[in-house]
Structure 1
Amino acid sequence: MGRKFIDCREISSDVKCSVAIVADTADEVVDAAVLHAVAVHREQDTPQLREGIRSMVKDGSPPA
Structure 2
Amino acid sequence: MLFGPDLTGPDLARRPARGARVVTQRFVGTLPAGHRMLFLVRGDGRLLPVTRAGGPAPRPGDLALLLSA
**TM-score per shorter chain, which class?**
under 0.3
The structure with more radius of gyration: 2
As a proportion of its length, which structure holds more helix?
1
TM-score, normalised via structure 2 length: 0.24
